[in-house]
Amino acid sequence: MKKWLVPIALVVVLGFMLMSGYNSLVVNNENVNGKWSQVENQLQRRADLIPNLVETVKGFAAQETEVFTALANARAALAGANTVSETAEANQDITSALGRLIAIAEAYPELKSNTNFLALQDELAGTENRIATARMDYNSAVQSYNTKVKSLPTAFYAGLLGFSEREYFEAKDGAEDGVKVEF
């Protein structure tokens, strides 16, 4: 009777460890998903702002076609992005293009003092900040999750259960944390 007790106890304990490890992976993975949703939310929010912004600027500076084209291309790239890194790069391009669009106002005093434009500037800055925050939250969630996936003893069975490392939301090399849109 006593001889069988120890191996059985061992199996039970290992079973519980496996279960809690798996649950922890699930929780962390869902957290990453949730944070990614938030990133996409904020990207969408900015996308909704852009038409209004473009129209306002065109009202005063329609001839600056180069900037409008750059922005349109960047938006198309974001729409076509499938992976996290593609999204990160497209996001970077949009931020740069928007920065140039806002910079145009420097040459057009009427635009610069237009109340609608000023309000849009604030909204845009706020949205860029939200994207930055959502990105920070997402990367933090990915860090927790990746740490779990790579740590022992979960590393032994994470792959078998379908859990693999997830991508960080990172800007291109040499671009830091996204261009800070300063006004």
Partner 1 sequence: MKRLIFKFSTFLCLISLFFVWVSPVKAIVVPSPNSSFYVMDQANLISTSTELDIIKTSEALYYETGAQIVLVTLNNLSGYDIEQYSVQLFRDWGIGNKEKNNGVLIILALEDREVRIEVGYGLEGAIPDSVAGRILDDYMLPNLQDGEYDVAFTETYNAVLSRVMAEYGLDSLTGVESNTSNENEVPWFWIIIGALILLSLDGYYLNGFILNLLLRTMLLASFGGSSGGSSFNRGGGGRTGGGGSSRRW
Residues near partner 1 (CB under 8 A) are 2, 6, 9-10, 13, 17, 38, 42, 118-123, 125-127, 129-134, 136, 140, 143-144, 147-148, 151-153, 180
Q: How far is the CB of 69 from partner 1 (least distance, A)?
A: 27
Q: How far is the CB of 135 from partner 1 (least distance, A)?
A: 10
Taking the C-alpha atoms of residue 142 and residue 168, their distance in angstroms, rounded to an integer, is 7
Q: How many CA atoms lie within 13 A of 173 on its CB side?
A: 0
Q: How far is the CB of 140 from partner 1 (least distance, A)?
A: 5
Task: Give the number of residues written for the chain.
Answer: 183
Q: How far is the CB of 66 from partner 1 (least distance, A)?
A: 28
Q: Which is nearer to partner 1, 65 or 147 (CB)?
A: 147
Q: Which is nearer to partner 1, 23 or 65 (CB)?
A: 23
Q: Is 81 left (phi over 0), alpha (psi -120 to 50) or beta?
A: beta
Q: Which is nearer to partner 1, 77 or 136 (CB)?
A: 136
What stretch of H or E contains 22? helix 2-61
Q: Which is nearer to partner 1, 31 or 73 (CB)?
A: 31
Taking the C-alpha atoms of residue 17 and residue 22, their distance in angstroms, rounded to an integer, is 8
Taking the C-alpha atoms of residue 15 and residue 20, their distance in angstroms, rounded to an integer, is 9
